[in-house]
Structure 1
Amino acid sequence: MSLTAVILAGGEGTRFRPYTDLIPKPMIPLGPEEKPVADHIVSTLIKGGATHVVFLVGYKWKYVRNYFGYGDRFGIKIDYSVDDETYKNTGGSLLKAYKQHLLDSDPVVVWYGDILAPLNASELAKEHAKLGADALLVVANAYQVPVGVAEINESGDIVDLKEKPWVNMKVTIGVLTLRPSLLEEYEGKLGTSFDIMGDLVPEMIRSGKKVKAYIYDGPWIDVGSLERYKKIDESLLRHITLS
C-alpha cells in the first residue's frame, strides 16, 4: 500500500538563529553522525512504511532539495511544495500540496519538522482507517516543562523547586494523520493561510468531524528551539533513532 507522508519544513527557524542565517532548520546536524534533523525524520518514515515523502518548504528550501534529491538514494519518492504569498502557514502549505496533487494517499501522515519519535507511519494510517477518523492526532500522556517549577507558600517562601518536571497532561506532539480532501472542504472558511493545529483541527472539532487520539507512551524529542537542541539527551536520541 502506498503511503504519503508530509514533513513541515518551511519556517525561517528564528529560534535557531544565528545558525539558520546560513541553513534552514531541518538541515541542522544532530547526533554522533551529524545527520540533519530531517534525515532522522525521513529514516523513521521509511522504516514505518512511507513510500512517498513531500517536503513543505520555503526558507532556503534548496538546501533541503540538494540533500534529499527526489528520493533515489532513499528508495522512495520525494517531492517538494514551495510556500508562496498565497498559500502560507502550515495549513496553507498543506493545501497547496493537495492542489498540486502531491497528497496521493488517504490518509496522509503529517509530521512537523522539529519532532523526533520512533512512530510507525503505517500503524498510524491503519489506526486512522480502523477508527474511520477524519484526523488522528498522536497524543502523549506527559509533557516535560522546559523551566523550573516553584511551589510558593503564603509568605512568599519557595518551599519546593523541581527542575524541568514531567507533568501528567495530554499533549499533541506534532504528528497526525488527515484525510487530505478535508483541506479543500475547509478552504472556504479558513482561506489559504491558516495553521493546522491552531485553526484546522479546532474547526474540524467544532463542525463535528471525527478527530481521534492515538495515545503514545514512547519517547519523543522536540527540537523546536536552540535551547532545546543544546540540551538534547544523547542517550534518548540514540534510543529514538535506533528504534
Structure 2
Amino acid sequence: MTEWSNVVLTTGASIRDAMRVIDRAALRIALVCDEQQRLQGTVTDGDIRRGLLVDCNMDDPVARVMNSQPKTARITDSRTQCLKIMDKYDLLALPVVNEWGELLGLETLHHALQPTKRDNPVFIMAGGFGTRLRPLTDHCPKPMLPVGEKPMLAHLIDRFIQLGFHRFYISTHYMPEQIRDYFGDGSQLDVSIRYVHEETPLGTGGALGLLPNDLPQLPLIMMNGDVLTKVDFTHLLAHHEQQGFDATMCVRELEHQVPFGVIESKDLLITGMVEKPTYRYRINTGIYVLSPDCVASVKTGVQIDMPTLLELRMEQQKKVGIYTSHDYWLDIGRMTDYQKAQADIHNFN
C-alpha cells in the first residue's frame, strides 16, 4: 500500500507521462484518476508497448492505452483475497478502492508476500475473568485457553505479526503470571511485548491510562484478547487514516429474521403486517483504532468503558467512525463459542 500516490496520473496526462511514472516509481504500473480521485484506469509498460505498435504517439492522452476496466480490490478485502485476485489474473499490482471507486491504495504482490513493518502499537485486553467459561477458567485466564495447539491469545498475536506489527502491549488482571510466563518480552517471536496490570478492573477503556508515556505517536489498535479473527488490521488502519478519524470502531453486519409475521398496530387497529421480516444491525467487534490524542485523554486510574469514551470524544466534536469487516470473527464468550473455535481453527490459517 506504500508509495502508491507517486504513481497517480490525471486523465489529462500523456503516454509519455505514464512511462516516466512507471520508470521512476519502479512499481510497474500507473494509476489514472479523475479530479475526485476516482480510478479511471491503469497503465503498464505492456499497455504502452501495445499502444505504440498500433501507431499511438507518446504525446497522445494516456486514455488511449490505459486499461479502463482494471481488476480492483476493496478496502475490506483481506490480504489473502488480494493474492487470489492477483494470482488468478496474473497481476503484479492491484488498486484498492472504496464503494464509490475512489482510489485508497495499491496492493503489490511484493508487499503482499512480504508485509511492511508497522510501528503502530497494538494494545490487547487480556484481564477478564471468563466467568461464562468456568470451570475451564478456574485455573487459567480466558485468553490463554487452548484453541487447537496454542492459546487463543497466541493466535491473535500471530495474526498481527503476519501483517507486520511488532509493538505489543497487553493489559492483565486475572492470573497475569500465566500470560507473562508464556510470552515473556516477545523476543522469541522477534517482537516487543510490554505489560500493564490493572490492580482493579478499570472497564474496557480504563487500561489505556496505564500505557507508558513513550508510546509511539501513531494510531493504536486496541482489542479484546478473547477473539479469533481474520480481520485485516492493515486495511482497518488504512481506513482510519484515510478518513481522518479520531477513533474507529470495527463493526460487523448481523441479520436477524423473525420467524413469525410482525404486526404493527395503533389503538387496537392494525396499521401494517410484515411476514417474517429480516432486520439488519451493526454490532461492535471490540476492535478499535484510536488516535494518540484519544489514548492520552484517558487518565491513570480512571474507570471507563469504550462506548463511554467514544461518546465523550463525539461530544468534543471529534470524528468517530466505523469500519465494516466481513472477515471471520468469533468472540469466544460462551462454551458454545469455544467449541466452535476448536472446530474452526483447522481451517483458520
Larger radius of gyration: 2
Give the Cα separation in 2 of the matches to 1:25 and 1:10. Answer: 8
What's the counterpart of residue 224 of structure 1?
333
How does 1:35-50 map onto structure 2 within 5 Å? 35-50=150-165
Contact 2:147 2:342 in 1 (8 A): no
Change in Cα spacing, 1:185 to 1:143, as seen in structure 2 (3 Å) is: same
Contact 2:147 2:341 in 1 (8 A): no
Provide the secondary structure at the position in 2 that maps to 1:140: strand
* 1:201 pairs with 2:310: yes
The alignment-based identity, stated in percent, is 29
Provide the secondary structure at the position in 2 that maps to 1:193: coil
Give the Cα separation in 1 of the matches to 2:186 and 2:312. Answer: 35
Provide the secondary structure at the position in 2 that maps to 1:218: coil
Letter in 1 for 2:169: V
Shift, 1:181, TM fit: 2.6
How does 1:55-74 map onto structure 2 within 5 Å? 55-74=170-189
Give the Cα separation in 1 of the matches to 2:317 and 2:342. Answer: 40
110, 122, 143: which one pairs with 1:5?
A: 122
Change in Cα spacing, 1:103 to 1:226, as seen in structure 2 (3 Å) is: farther
Letter in 2 for 1:119: V
Change in Cα spacing, 1:27 to 1:186, as seen in structure 2 (3 Å) is: closer
Could you say what the CA RMSD is over the residues aligned between the two structures, in angstroms?
2.6
Give the Cα separation in 2 of the matches to 1:3 and 1:192. Answer: 24
Structure 1: unaligned runs, 5 residues or longer:
155-161
What's the counterpart of residue 159 of structure 1?
none
Give the Cα separation in 1 of the matches to 2:331 and 2:138. Answer: 21
Letter in 2 for 1:181: D
Give the Cα separation in 2 of the matches to 1:96 and 1:143. Answer: 37
What's the counterpart of residue 127 of structure 1?
239
Contact 1:49 1:120 in 2 (8 A): no
Contact 1:135 1:211 in 2 (8 A): yes
Shift, 1:105, TM fit: 4.2
Give the Cα separation in 2 of the matches to 1:73 and 1:81. Answer: 20
Contact 1:133 1:210 in 2 (8 A): yes
Change in Cα spacing, 1:53 to 1:144, as seen in structure 2 (3 Å) is: farther
What's the counterpart of residue 214 of structure 1?
323
* Aligned length in residues: 219
Shift, 1:102, TM fit: 5.7
TM-score, normalised relative to structure 1: 0.80
Contact 2:250 2:324 in 1 (8 A): yes
Contact 1:2 1:105 in 2 (8 A): no
What's the counterpart of residue 11 of structure 2?
none
TM-score, normalised relative to structure 2: 0.57
What's the counterpart of residue 107 of structure 1?
219
Shift, 1:57, TM fit: 0.6
Letter in 2 for 1:36: P
Change in Cα spacing, 1:231 to 1:95, as seen in structure 2 (3 Å) is: same
Higher relative contact order (CA 8 A, sep 6+): 1
Give the Cα separation in 1 of the matches to 2:119 and 2:167. Answer: 7
230, 239, 246: which one pairs with 1:118?
A: 230
Give the Cα separation in 1 of the matches to 2:147 and 2:204. Answer: 24
Shift, 1:172, TM fit: 1.7
Runs of 4+ in 1 over 3 A off after TM superposition: none
Structure 2: unaligned runs, 5 residues or longer:
1-117, 264-275
Shift, 1:125, TM fit: 2.2
